[in-house]
Structure 1
């Protein structure tokens, strides 16, 4: 037997268990294992991170172990093979040595990793002008992306995202937060630090609510133009073809403004009619074996993500909060005075960089950059542009949510569920679902008092609601 026979046997095992054939990286791990290559060497040969190769390898050994009925791992796979314990009959691949005789391993198995790397290097040199195969030069398509002029410190969030993608092999990340909190800026700034780990990096905004068919067509155009092949017509075929690319290449796809796929006037995360198939798309991203990552930016968490996370899939959610002290850089850029008062502004406007920038501009124009003069006014000041932002959130609410928001906004203090219940005509279950939806929109937060749960509305939205 040679390497190709081993790959054929392994492919048969994997297909028997999963209904799917070996992907490129799984084949590379098997080849490297037989050639006594380390995970580090395999990763180097195939321009992937070592942690991602280890993760794919562990999943591969797990499936093979289940099919063979014994523990198989990188350290013993070659030994099992060389002892002739793996062979293929007409129906299945099993562990056994029929004759008990020693098996002579084909000399092809002794090809060194160095030789393989030399071959790979020659292949790369011959394809130097092909962005799919050029080392450290991924195909980056950010035609849809806004220009990022300022990035305020999100070091911890960047580190978390990089770890999830590069070390943990996470396939689907949901980046959540209010409008203006910095989701788009963070995801685009992330690219500089991780681009050498990917073959393709693509950003697309869904702000005009494209159908899944339109989104898949848009993504496939990038790959198919490179391969000079036609995009299939059927949705199912488009989906299958995209996942072939996600397996073949290490891709990062950023899909922004996911909330535009959801219905206004319903609870958070409910899709518009005709958009439910996005649920299947996200589910497949999380479940199907591939070497890519998709980031979803949204004001609201897609409802299906919670179920996928519960199933312990390679999925993570990051909620962006206040910039805290880093927000002071916004005021420095605007040349605001009275730095001792800046923390008050940050707390009032919740460390939201967009909202702080709007208020800083107002202070520049009306108060000659003097923050202390602006703070003479006790109530939160909502400039026109900030009111427009809050209006966007308020318009998305269901009738039940608007009712509860109004009750909470008219109260001088936080309320418990019983207090809200007495002021509305909602049933117990309706109220619980309504509060849950508002929390998922980041418009209501919980407070604990005397071992009881209370709820308070976002202070700026509270001020807005009082005016409408």
Structure 2
């Protein structure tokens, strides 16, 4: 719906409830909210304090909450107005008033039913059929706020959400989508588990965008536009999960599979052409051109997800009904990875293991599903990455680059590229210019090496 019509609709609602039309500040708040501006931006443009804008805005949302019969806030105002079209009889009456009294310009009046125009303009074609259900979600407040800022305030075009398998990337993205989907005309979630070609994926997404039009049998079918055109015309959030399936195994991270190179041109258009949409990519390996050279890159951001903090990890353990949580100090070595922790706790409970049973063991418990999961990631590594992992697994403490070079197994160029790739995959840790493996990864590498020796 065009901005003037939406403002008029809000004004009619306020007038019906209070007997007064929107004043200048209220109108600025409604307009700024529709244009997705922050309270700070609205205050600056209106030349008043941010606290005053927040105060007036809060009162405005309370009035609209009573009129629309649901809790209204700055974040869901637009979506609530859309829903009112189909659920609130008052909205229908307002549209009658609009069609009889509102001029699109000084010389002409609308020649179409504005309620139909409203329906067409604000149709939300969300397709979240492939989005997993939100399971147990542990505190990721900081990460959520970072992602929301990048998407809603910084208007980033591509965001890569990276991290080792099981760390909670998908669950974080599900929570994010649930919180911000009302800010977008269209939200689509697609899993790339089966690695669709770009032409297959584009055709699928365009079908989502065209679905309202396809239902109108009387209308002449318009020529389908390239996907980027839809992203320019509408504000969309598109989520691609399992993005690693576009990348070639047994190569350094980020190289496309043969036949998938067209994605490079697609992502370049998303980065460089003007549009109002956002692409969120989730996986434990990403195409190189989707990772920003630095976090100041215009429109492109990367968030590498780490493990849960100690408090959230303890919450997970208590919710898993693990007895004597405080005695299981060994679980700190699983570094807050939800999948690893849940797998180990399940094994402990199934076999009724006590903390004292394994406290003297030099190695960690490594359930089969954790080993299988890590083996899947190891199988994707290039030969030089596997060599570097082997070198780090033999080290008793974190090592510097110079120490690794002394092994003379790899050239300096190969070694540096392999370290960079392994960091992108979240398989090695870098701190104070030293490289190391987490206890779980180190043990998994030892098991992998043993199996390799056994097979030869």
- The question of a shared fold, defined as TM-score above 0.5 by the shorter chain, is answered with yes
Give the CA deviation at 1:48: 4.2
Unaligned runs of 5+ in 1: 1-23, 29-35, 59-113, 231-236
After superposition, the Cα gap between the structure-2 partners of 1:209 and 1:52, relative to the gap in structure 1 and judged at 3 Å, is farther
Specify which of 164, 172, 176 is matched with residue 162 of structure 2: 176
1:358-369 mapped onto 2 (5 Å cutoff):
358-367=343-352
Residue in 2 that maps onto 1:403? 387
1:223-262 mapped onto 2 (5 Å cutoff):
223-228=209-214, 241-262=226-247
Residue in 1 that maps onto 2:407? 423
After superposition, the Cα gap between the structure-2 partners of 1:376 and 1:365, relative to the gap in structure 1 and judged at 3 Å, is farther
1:50-449 mapped onto 2 (5 Å cutoff):
50-51=37-38, 125-126=115-116, 133-134=122-123, 138-228=124-214, 241-306=226-291, 312-324=297-309, 325-342=311-328, 344-345=330-331, 347-367=332-352, 370-371=354-355, 373-448=357-432
Q: Which secondary structure state, in structure 2, belongs to the residue aligned with residue 145 of structure 1?
A: coil
Alignment partners' CA distance in 2, 1:123 and 1:358: 58
Q: In the alignment, is residue 49 of structure 1 matched against residue 33 of structure 2?
A: no
Post-superposition CA distance 1:217-262 (Å, at most 9, x none):
11111112222299xxxxxx97x53222212222111001111111
Post-superposition CA distance 1:52-90 (Å, at most 9, x none):
9979xx9xxxxxxxxxxxxxxxxxxxxxxxxxxxxxxxx
Specify which of 458, 461, 468 is matched with residue 438 of structure 2: 458
CA contact (8 A) 2:161 2:303 kept: yes
Over the residues paired in the alignment, what is the CA RMSD in angstroms?
3.4
Q: Which secondary structure state, in structure 1, belongs to the residue aligned with residue 248 of structure 2?
A: coil
Give the CA deviation at 1:123: 6.7
Alignment partners' CA distance in 1, 2:267 and 2:122: 27
Post-superposition CA distance 1:86-115 (Å, at most 9, x none):
xxxxxxxxxxxxxxxxxxxxxxxxxxxx96
CA contact (8 A) 2:247 2:286 kept: no
Alignment partners' CA distance in 2, 1:357 and 1:124: 54
Give the CA deviation at 1:350: 1.4
After superposition, the Cα gap between the structure-2 partners of 1:285 and 1:422, relative to the gap in structure 1 and judged at 3 Å, is same
Aligned structure 1 segments of 4 or more residues deviating by more than 6 angstroms: 36-39, 52-55
TM-score normalised by the chain length of structure 2 = 0.71
Unaligned runs of 5+ in 2: 7-23, 46-100, 217-222, 449-456
Alignment partners' CA distance in 1, 2:387 and 2:245: 23
